[in-house]
Structure 1
């Protein structure tokens, strides 16, 4: 399916960005303002957690509900209001890639942070419900393509709808949320 190929490319892109950024975070963290170092450390932890979940969905790591849940909880605990709090006040600082758009479009940034938390919470619940195997109920279903994905999709409310979708769909929407946030609120290096 074209949707699965697009989602796979999106997942691969997000995880590649995280992998490339990791050494930069470690080297730069020693000379960064504390709030910037904390943001980067938390982003790295979320990226590593997403890589772990992705590996289980792809089958390159065996499914382990405890590790899946721990990864989802890492993302959940560091998103939502916790993420918004890290970007309070003036967000631009030496060594930061945060855009001043966060300050001027605070409601949209906070909504993306809360959406990220909702998707991660849905993944955590899915791990509780699927202790033994990453079964068909966790996989994307044919109807997922029209519920929250793509420009023609039905719009969803992650806080209300994430728990009722497949874990794989929630994961892909979570990655799309990360991509949207980075596209809007992150300054690209030149």
Structure 2
């Protein structure tokens, strides 16, 4: 199964679980759960386009990217004040014990979604077919999409000092930019979101 499909599937499944888990959430916890739910729905709307299952629509991609931007960066981190963990929150304690890493991923989501917005007019580049761009395989082993270590919270890409900027993401085909953006979501969920039993 392709990496973009796996990432989108995880995010979509998490949206359904989150909708059920919202019962009993209030205040800031409910606000952040609602924000995550909205972003998950945006992923669900865009993922079939990226897989070639539905017609590609650049405006829908731009709308999703703008929505991610509204809920990323400081907008996201302000929804995680200390003392808002525990049920019904799905946030792990690591959000607060590894705050710099969490905040870096929130910032990275903002940056990558800005790049995704700008990449929307680039159309699809064939990510669902493991295509390459500029000689670098996008989904391959030692390439741009890289291994789990480099993409999923390692020090080199996700939340690290060598983060790509929006301008670099904007040069990619939209499906590659979408994959990069949703990888940030997955990295954050993997590290900071409690698994449902």
TM-score between both structures, scaled by the size of structure 1 = 0.81
For 2:44, what is the secondary structure of its paired residue? helix
Q: Which runs of 5+ in 2 are unaligned?
A: 151-155
Give the corresponding residue for 1:70. 63
RMSD between aligned residues: 2.5
C-alpha offsets along residues 70-97 of structure 1, whole Å, 9 cap, x if unaligned?
1111111101111011112223143101
Matches within 5 A, 1:11-30: 11-25=8-22, 28=23
CA contact (8 A) 2:12 2:43 kept: yes
Give the corresponding residue for 1:159. 165
Give the corresponding residue for 1:189. 196
Give the corresponding residue for 2:106. 113
- Count of aligned pairs between the two proteins: 179
Give the corresponding residue for 1:42. 35
- Distance 1:85-1:33 versus aligned 2 partners, 3 A rule: same
CA contact (8 A) 2:82 2:96 kept: yes
The structure in which a higher percent of residues are helix is 1
TM-score between both structures, scaled by the size of structure 2 = 0.78
2:181 and 2:125 map into 1 onto residues whose CA distance is: 19
2:96 and 2:149 map into 1 onto residues whose CA distance is: 30
C-alpha offsets along residues 149-188 of structure 1, whole Å, 9 cap, x if unaligned?
3147674513353233332222112222212211211122
Using the TM superposition, give the Cα deviation of residue 36 of structure 1 relative to its aligned residue in structure 2, in angstroms.
0.7
CA contact (8 A) 1:141 1:166 kept: no
Q: Which runs of 5+ in 1 are unaligned?
A: none
